[in-house]
Chain A
Amino acid sequence: MTDTLAGNKTTAVGPTDGLAVLEQTRSAAETYGIPLAVLLEVTHRCPLQCPYCSNPVELDRGSTELTTEEWKKVLSELAELGVLQVHFSGGEPTARKDIVELVQHATDVGLYSNLITSAVLLTRDRLSALADAGLSHVQISFQGNEPNVADRVAGLKDAHRKKLEVAKWTRELDMPLTVNAVMHRQNLHQLPDIIQMAVDLDADRLEVANVQYYGWALKNRAALMPTVAQIEETSRIVEEAQARLKGTLAIDYVVPDYYALRPKKCMGGWGRQFFNISPAGKVLPCHAAESITGLEFESVRSNHSIAWIWQNSEAFNRYRGTGWMPEPCKSCEFREVDYGGCRCQAFALTGDAGNTDPACALSPRHEEIFKQAEQESAGTQNRFLYRNFAGGTLETDQLQEEPQDKSHGA
């Protein structure tokens, strides 16, 4: 924060880098100041069955979810701690009957609220009630730019049409809109049309997010992994659109780390700048953290405050900073640039969350995993394993002996 008017006097940052700006007077690595934004996964219930869902494979049942009063207490506590934004996410957050009440409470305690939704459960009246409750922003996921691809990926008929309708209502109610498009091999060809769709919907922002391969997405990797050529084309399309639509549509681009040489600074570093709260109230360093077996995560239902859990719990301190690192991270000059990449990915791909993320070219496993992904991307296995509470259901187009559809509700 400089004192001059000229030049670059403001710094826009993502929530994961926010502390670097706001707490530059102190060492964030020493203080672990409270995050600026917190992700609230208020339920795992969802009418969609996307094969890349970021929820854990072991979903929290509806009966284990925090109650309305418990969520309200969480919101009040977060605001007191200095959290500025909350993202109501899921699952599908509007699957909760009390979502309007929760948004209202967030507003009452001074939090900026964002609804991350699939939109398919929303009526115009309910959306209007959310706007009246002070909802600051709506983010709607899209699975493609037309129903054939989009409804198949979502595993829900008529989903795409419904999403378009809700997006339109969002703008009619004068709420800002982000279109979130999760990209993979089977929909990347639609990217130019998705960008145009976002413009036509009068969205403020578009997130072009390549699938990150944990949990459900890892199970579906062979059906989702893009080819190197697709990724190169994607980067070109995004860069062109960013320049062309500057000031009209902001485009954020999440690259797929499998084809990178350096791992992503996942969550801004474990326990450094981010936490989320699961439907059952677990305070987690990332939404996939429960996939790492052997770590105990504290709950907001425990006797501990959220601040205590953030600062003192074993799970948050386990991979904090750089002290836990093995080689090649330990002596790497980039260790405080990427913090060794993603712990969940290291666990999923190597069996040990304490290993270097194989997305890093310096990982001894990088070559082997990259080759495997590249082979999968060139393959013809396009069938999805849909996400549900039954542990997944294989798409049934081609083969009939696979497990038939089971209830995906809680």
Chain B
Amino acid sequence: MASRNISVSETSRPKLPRHTRLKFDETRQVWVILAPERVLAPDEIAVEVLHLCDGVRSVGQMVDQLAEKYAAPREAIATDVIAMLQDLADKGFLTEARESTA
């Protein structure tokens, strides 16, 4: 039994778990995350971060990328991104890339 309880840090390599799907809803013109019995409506920035969550990139690399793009203080971006990803992880919408199929 593998715990899905992840603690997000700069070294985490998060990705969306298999049961979720990030999709652009053409009817409502918003991005949604689909999960069993739930639909999540992430805002634009969350969507941008989620697109970076491919299970390969580390959170640190994402933060570098965003800090450069928005010319914003790295520390502030890191705090916000980690908080947002941890919130998603706690709700079961984010997992961590595993070494192999456990």
Contact = CB atoms under 8 A, between A and B. Distances in A.
A131 to B, nearest CB: 10
A11 to B, nearest CB: 6
B88 interface: yes
Contacts of B83: 5-6
Interface in B18-53: 18-19, 21, 23, 25-28, 30, 32-34, 36-46
Interface of B: 1-6, 17-19, 21, 23, 25-28, 30, 32-34, 36-46, 77, 79-81, 83-84, 87-93, 101
A82 B27 CA distance: 5
Contacts of B87: 8-10
Interface of A: 1-6, 8-15, 18, 21-23, 33-34, 36-37, 81-82, 84-85, 110, 112, 114, 136-137, 139, 174-176, 178, 199-200, 202, 204-205, 246-248, 250, 252
Contact of A200 (B1, B21, B79): B1
5 contacts: A5-B45, A82-B27, A136-B21, A246-B5, A248-B3
Given A15-B38, A176-B36, A247-B90, 5 more contacts: A13-B40, A81-B27, A112-B23, A202-B2, A252-B37
Contacts, number: 128
B36 A82 contact: no
B24 to A, nearest CB: 10
Contacts of A15: 37-39
Kindly list the 10 A-B residue pairs having the minimum CB-CB distance in the complex, ordered from nearest. Answer: A82-B27, A247-B5, A176-B19, A5-B80, A112-B34, A18-B39, A137-B36, A1-B43, A21-B41, A10-B42
Contacts of B4: 204, 247-248
Contact of B81 (A5, A114, A136, A175): A5
A112 B41 contact: no
Given A13-B38, A114-B36, A247-B90, A23 B28 contact: yes
Contact of B45 (A3, A8, A136): A3
